[in-house]
Amino acid sequence: MSLFNVYPLFDITPVKAEGMYVFDENETKYLDLYGGHAVISIGHSHLKYVKNISEQVAKIGFYSNSIQNPLQEKLANKLEKVSGCKDYELFLCNSGAEANENALKLSSFHTNKKKVVAFKNGFHGRTSAAVAVTDNLKIIAPINAQQEVEILELGDLVGLEKSLIKNDVCAVIVEFIQGVGGLDESTTEFYEGADKLCKKYNTCFIADEVQSGFGRTGGFFAFQKYKVTPDIISMAKGMGNGFPIGGILIHPSINASFGLLGTTFGGNHLACVASLTVLNVIEEERLMQNALEVSTYFLQKTLTVPNLKTVKGRGLMLGLEFSFPIAELRKKLIFKHKIFTGNAKNPNLLRILPPLTVKKEHIDLFFDALKSELS
């Protein structure tokens, strides 16, 4: 049986990984500055991660959400402590798309409205409602287009109030730093203004932290730079260091009821242990502080890069924007210099999303390679 051909693939076959490096079947070593779309947060094959998951799977890996699972409560408590998001409640699922899908559904239940406002260049997933609020017509099927969605310019407070005043919007969803779209971030005035408008018009304010959460920006969530209180926070990628897990944090003003949300695999024993390990390692190894320190070093190094137009992002969610398409540069970094980086909807943007364990010497290797190709 052949595979359904939906991914353009590089001719590289990773067979093992450790720390900051990925190895192919020929033992070729690649420096990973992309983390599989910001998924690898505490480094590949972290010893505590391997140990904890191995021990858990030897006990019990999965059972239904109709029984007690104390690991879910343990994860919720640890998440509250490390994130600083007090009094929120946790619902667990399996991916970022599922997290946003549940966030949108819950908003509609809570407000009894159905329209959603999202923003240009946003990406929120590929499931039904999540893809409908994503600004990419190529991935929205006719069946998804039945959703009532308005896409505004990021930063358009006037347009946002014009939409909300009609009183038919259940949710406003925004990435505080856009991922796939190209690392754009709006102003304090916009984010804090949007939060106030949502509260004024009984609309749920959803912070999509799927890529920017779990310490990637140097804070636990990107929205915490601003004075806002999201009604729902979605999260996934770095949450499990590669084990599939997602979730939403739900403000206590939103009430739960039996059957409101549900999942078969969400919050299983292995997923909880994976995420608990990530949180413990982030805390014990001071990885948010490391993200800030390495980011500062990275930004200093960019000052010596020729043909660089601008640097975008925060912490270890970074983008280098050039005045030319970066596709060939990215290929040279992979095949000649053995360094993984990422691209974006913006064809001129090179994305850098390394594990939070990255060190300055890894950044040096990247910039040496980059300058050798640009000189």
The predicted-structure confidence for 304-356, as pLDDT tens digits, reads as follows 999 999 999 999 999 999 999 999 999 999 999 999 999 999 999 999 999 99
Catalogue the E-assigned strands of the chain.
Answer: 14-18, 21-24, 29-32, 89-93, 115-119, 149-152, 169-174, 204-208, 232-235, 246-250, 308-314, 317-322, 339-340, 349-352
Q: What is the pTM for the complete model shown? A: 0.97
Q: What is the pLDDT of residue 135?
A: 97
| Residues with Cβ within 8 Å of residue 149, at least 6 apart in sequence | 115, 116, 117, 118, 132, 133
* Tens of pLDDT, residues 165-180: 999 999 999 999 999 9
The answer to whether 209 and 88 have CB atoms below 8 angstroms apart is no
Say whether pLDDT at 145 is over 90. no
Name the band, by pLDDT with cuts 50, 70 and 90, for residue 182.
Answer: very high
Looking at residue 96, its pLDDT comes to 98
d(CA 199, CA 231): 9
CA distance 355 to 351: 13
Q: What average pLDDT score do residues 30-48 get?
A: 98
Mean pLDDT of the chain: 97
Of 290, 240, 317, 246, the closest CA to residue 40 belongs to 240
E strands, 19-131, where? 21-24, 29-32, 89-93, 115-119
* Phi/psi at 67 (5° precision): -120, 170
Phi-psi category of residue 24: left, alpha or beta, with phi > 0 → left and psi -120 to 50 → alpha? beta
pLDDT at site 305: 95
213: nearest Cα among 311, 129, 27, 88 = 88
Distance (Å) of CA 353 to CA 205, 211, 234, 307 = 26, 9, 19, 21
Mean pLDDT of 75-103: 98
Whole-angstrom Cα distance, residue 343 to residue 183? Answer: 11
Write the CA distances from 155 to 120, 121, 174, 183, 298, integer angstroms. 10, 12, 10, 14, 27
Which of 34, 63, 288 shows the shortest CA–CA distance to 179?
Answer: 34
* pLDDT reported for residue 317: 98
